[in-house]
Structure 1
Amino acid sequence: MERSDEKTTPSASTTSADLHSPTHDAAEAGHPLAGKPWMYRSRRIGPICIPAYASPPFQLGLVAIVCFLCPGMFNALAGLGGGGQFDATTANNANVALYSTFSVVGFFAGTFANRMGIKLTLSLGGIGYFIYIASFLSYNRNQNGGFPIFAGALLGVCAGLLWCAQGAIMMSYPPEASKGRYISWFWMIFNFGAVLGSLIPLGQNMHSDAGGVNDGTYIGFMVLTFCGAALAWFLVDARQVQRADGSHVVLMKHPTWQSELLGLLETLKTDSWVVLLFPMFLASNWFYTYQFNDVNLARFNVRTRALNGVLYWLSQILGAYVFGYALDISRVRRSVRAKAAWAVLFVITMAIWGGGYAWQRQYTRAETSAKDYVKMDWTGGGYVGPMFLYMFYGFYDAAWQTCVYWFMGALTNNGRKLANFAGFYKGIQSAGAAIMFRIDALGAPFMNEFASCWGLLAGSLLVALPLIMMKVRDTVPLEDDIKFSDETIEEVMPTLARDDQEGKVN
């Protein structure tokens, strides 16, 4: 690799391999690796090979376990409908507060994650989940609805940071050829947390047909979320992560908050096509309220709701596995895979939600709200049909989320842009969830809520089609990853070289 005497500007012949090679790092940092040597040694225990501590698989695994223990427990609780309570009003109000703050913080969370670092960002997120679940334990005792609403607003801030950091890691750490599998691995581990979380109320309420869960369920969730917040501190800095081929993550660090905010705007300017994915972002959490409150809570007793939750999240694991690996089929060009993924999503949207329409025609909000309404138990007749429908809903959710993340990851490998993409995703997603929880809290007819879910999902796929057809390429060259605009590229390259010398870009 050629350099000027001052070593400030890479030459025109600089390649991706040159800029991110271990040899280059050694020359700049004065030692062969960015971190301690033990971080880069894999270990074998019998037939099992454990990846190096500072490798993308190990680090993404740690992030997945953090999400397993924090958002996973939240999902298990939410999946019971109404936060595990007999009536969904308090949980709906808390979730409106949660997703309202989430939508604001999530939109700008890429900026904060870039400045605070992965460890602090993820750990703060975990503490938010702990406090949120604690508020429902308190509500079980004193019926103080203010605490869950406050905790929901706080969690919106914390979760916006956590999910932005998670999204940036999941999309930028893997090499291009493995992004689908990495997303799949994360989603399977993360959703296994919700499976475990659903088993807790199932075991504790096995012989109960009450409407709400007991205190032990909330205490169990609190212990696990606290462990997740603590585990985040075992991650390494992103600059120390090294892929198997010796390449490092493309990171762009800026010294001021102003430059980070300008970078957020620059991302929208240089990658304006991403707005075509915004309706898919909006749809991605819109249907949760309907599925958890208007299907699971409305029709089933507490132990059957817990069983449905286990099956729902197990189906998510299956969906993530199928779609994650299918999206990485190497013998098919990535642009072709993107189009095929869109087509499959459209078909299963019509099929699964068509079945949901047939189910929703059987009952109304007025019927299920009656005091003498007897909720369905798994031992009763007619349970098998809705059980499979609920499982398909879980499979569909994982398919949708996996594809959306993969589409974003296919647009760039730049960690800074991907952090902002993830922030856009979680912010808009959360705005949709806040709107839907409020609609449900106001008592909208179940069929109206169902129709909004189905229509938004199908419509957002049509809006995203031009981006899928024209902007998903077979590979993204490094030059595009570090290029913000034609006007500023000459300014960015010296900055990149300087940050590379300081260990900020790897």
Structure 2
Amino acid sequence: MASSVLQAGVPSEETIEKEAPTPVVEEHLPVPAPYRLGPLKIPNYYSATAQVFIAGFVNFLAVGMFLVLTSLGGAGQLNATTADNANTILYVLFAVVSIIAGPIVNAMGPRITLSLGALGYALYGASFWSYNQDFNSGFVLFGGAACGVGAALLWASSGQIMTSYPTESDKSIHITLFYMLSYLGAVVGGIIPVAQNNNNTAAASVNTGTYVATTVLMIVSVFVPFALASPDKIIRSDGTRVVVRPAESLPRELRNMVYSLKKDPMFLLFLPFGTAALFYAPFQANDFNGYFFNVRTRAVNGLLYAIAEFIGCSTIALLDWKIVPRRTRAICGWLMVLLMVLIVNICGYFPTTNSFRGVPYTPPMDISSPMAAKYMTLYFFYGFQDGVFQAFAFWIIGVLSNDPYILATYSGLYKTFAAVGAAISFGMDAGGVDYMRMWGSDFAILMFGCLCLGPLVFIRVKDTSMDTPAPAVEAADEVKEV
């Protein structure tokens, strides 16, 4: 896929160099002072922390509720086929639109693209609300398509914000903040199906109230992005301004994307890792949680999965431990991800030997069943793996550059390949591939992606992405009182 992107309509090398984006010139300004509310310090509105928080809150409402539905298995339906078909469409469009999502963000800005992205998630939630009432599968397929386009826009814009707004010395804490908010949304949202399906011990669909609550929260997320400040008004903690180039035509933006890849071809080693980032989703949600458990236990598992994601992504904050060189931190993080993938997925082999496509697990496992604790613990660590994997991926993207333009491009390409992997995997699941092969393909692609990432980490990651270190700037003396 990468080759087709690079070959289709690519201008000559001389043209690319001539039309390369103008280099960013950093300006140093007084650091915005925090607001004070009694003994509390609240980040200034124009700080990277405040802006990442707002973007993360969009994910809290939109992506968090989406994760609630997917973690239930089949989006909460007894038969996962409709959800699989919708998710296949979702991730195909996610992949296609993500190719141009970075240029779209650069041209339209993060506020509009985040809002449009959240709208796609809201339509996805509404489609399952409708399906639970009248089994309108056409609306579900449309919801999947809308969510695919929306997800591409949402992740390219939020990826740009969380990787380019902070300084390179505190990127991991901001990426962690962003992902913690996303997964906190799944935790809070996960309480909804647990409470509403507590007495449902059958192998059935969740009740309509679950879809009503998640959809309403997704709709709210459409309006939150308009609270974001203009990117050119953001001042980082070292006094540098986030420099955003003027919007250009889409063809020019696409040529600039090609330039970014030609300038740093080692980024291609990241793409197999990106492909693995969502490949395991249907196996974990549908073929494990949706297969072995009844409704109320699936709901509890979904909540535990979200808590595990929250804990997992928080470990990436350790990668800002400044007494250790950044390259060393990157290597340690890569080894942690590699070992985690190896251990968790080998453990997943054993229950898979007891699952058979087309043969229901009877009776479905309840939270009170003797074997439930072991299987639920494994599902918890599947969630932990996901939290670490997703946050580490964006941290690696963030250490490759400080340029918002390049980082929007990298974020879009990452989600392109992640969506390709998910589309293939959901297609396999909808096509009835047996569970052992689903597990084997997950494990193989995860390990291949991790091994491909190794050379990028060892060779490409440096202790700084800046040509010259930025001088420290003291915070402004004036403190605004609230």
What is aligned with 2:429? 440
1:68-114 deviations in Å (ceiling 9; x for gaps): 00011011001101111110011001101111111000121001011
Aligned equivalents of 1:257 and 1:107: distance in 2? Answer: 12
> Which letter maps to 2:424?
I
Report the AA paired with residue 391 of structure 2.
T
How much does 1:244 deviate? 2.4
Which residue among 298, 301, 314 is the counterpart of 2:307? 314
Contact 1:107 1:425 in 2 (8 A): no
Tell me: CA distance 1:281–1:480, structure 2 relative to 1, closer, same or farther (3 Å): farther
The letter for the 2-side match of 1:248 is R
How far apart are 1:478 and its partner, in Å? 4.4
> What is the identity, as a one-letter code, of the residue corresponding to 1:331?
I
Instruction: Check if 1:403 corresponds to 2:403.
Output: no
Is 1:257 the counterpart of 2:257 in the alignment? no
What code does the residue aligned with 1:230 have? F
- 1:280, 1:464 within 8 Å by CA — same for their partners in 2? yes
State the alpha-carbon separation in 1 of the partners of residues 125 and 180 from structure 2: 23
1:51-90 to 2 correspondences below 5 Å = 51-90=43-82
Aligned pair count?
A: 447
Give the structure 2 partner of residue 112 of structure 1.
104
Q: Which residue matches 1:125?
A: 117
Does 1:471 pair with 2:471?
no
Q: 3-state DSSP class of the match of 1:49?
A: strand
Quote the residue 1:335 is aligned against: 327
Structure 1 counterpart of 2:357, one-letter code: R
Alignment partners' CA distance in 2, 1:250 and 1:449: 45
In 2, the alpha carbon distance for the partners of 1:254 and 1:73 equals 32
TM-score by length of 1: 0.86
Corresponding letter in the other structure for 2:293: F
Indicate conservation of the 8 Å contact 1:195/1:314, yes or no. Answer: yes
Q: Whole-Å Cα distance in 2 between the matches of residues 410 and 253 of structure 1?
A: 24
Decide whether aligned partners of structure 1 residues 447 and 266 sit closer, same or farther in structure 2, where only a CA change above 3 A counts: same
- In the alignment, the residues of structure 2 paired with residue 137 and residue 309 of structure 1 have an alpha-carbon distance, to the nearest angstrom, of 18
Q: Secondary structure at the match of 2:223?
A: helix
Tell me the residue number matched to 2:296: 303
1:451 counterpart (440, 451, 459): 440
- Counterpart for residue 171 of structure 1: 163
**Partner residue, 2:476:** none
C-alpha contact 1:63 1:166 (8 A) present in aligned 2 = yes
Rounded Cα–Cα distance in structure 1 between residues aligned with 2:35 and 2:468: 35
**One-letter code aligned to 2:337:** L
Structure 1 residues 411-445: Cα deviation after superposition (integer angstroms, max 9, x where no partner): 11110000000000111101111110010001111
Other-structure match for 2:369: 380
The answer to whether the 8 A contact 1:250-1:413 is kept is no
Deviation digits for residues 449-470 of structure 1 (CA, Å, limit 9, x no counterpart): 0000111111111112111111
The reply to whether residue 234 of structure 1 matches residue 227 of structure 2 is: yes
The residue matched to 2:245 in structure 1 has which SS? Answer: coil
Unaligned runs of 5+ in 1: 1-14, 24-32, 34-39, 482-506
Contact 1:82 1:293 (C-alpha < 8 Å) held by counterparts: yes
Amino acid at match of 1:392: F
| CA deviation profile, 1:221-273 (whole Å, cap 9, x unmatched) | 11101111111111111111112222111323343222211111111111111
8 Å CA contact 1:107–1:428 kept in 2: the answer is no
Displacement of 1:479 after TM fit?
7.2
The letter for the 1-side match of 2:408 is A
Query: Are 1:335 and 1:472, in contact at CA under 8 Å, matched by a contact in 2?
Result: yes
In structure 2, the partner of 1:504 is none
Distance in 1 separating the partners of 2:420 and 2:408? 18
- Opposite residue 212 of structure 2, the aligned amino acid is I
Match of 1:391 in 2: 380
Displacement after TM superposition at 1:290 (Å): 0.4
- 3-state SS of paired residue (1:212): coil
Aligned partners of 2:166 and 2:237 also within 8 Å:
no
Question: Structure 1: which 4+ aligned runs deviate by more than 6 Å?
Answer: none
In the TM superposition, what are the counterparts of 1:491-506 in structure 2 within 5 Å?
none
CA–CA distance in 2 between the matches of 1:106 and 1:332? Answer: 34
- The letter of the residue matching 1:351 is I
Write the letter of the residue equivalent to 1:84. G
Contact 1:96 1:438 survives alignment (8 Å)? yes
Pick aligned residue for 1:460 from 449, 456, 460? 449
Change (3 A) 1:103 1:383: same
CA distance in 1, matches of 2:214, 2:251: 39
CA RMSD of aligned residues (A): 1.8
Q: CA deviation at 1:46?
A: 2.8
Match of 2:278 in 1: 285
Q: C-alpha deviations, 1:318-344, integer Å up to 9, x for none?
A: 11111x222111111011111111111
> What is the CA-CA distance between 1:362 and the residue it aligns to?
2.2
Structure 2 contact 167–237 (Cα < 8 Å) conserved? no
Q: How many Å apart are 1:41 and its aligned residue?
A: 4.7
3-state DSSP of counterpart to 2:365: coil
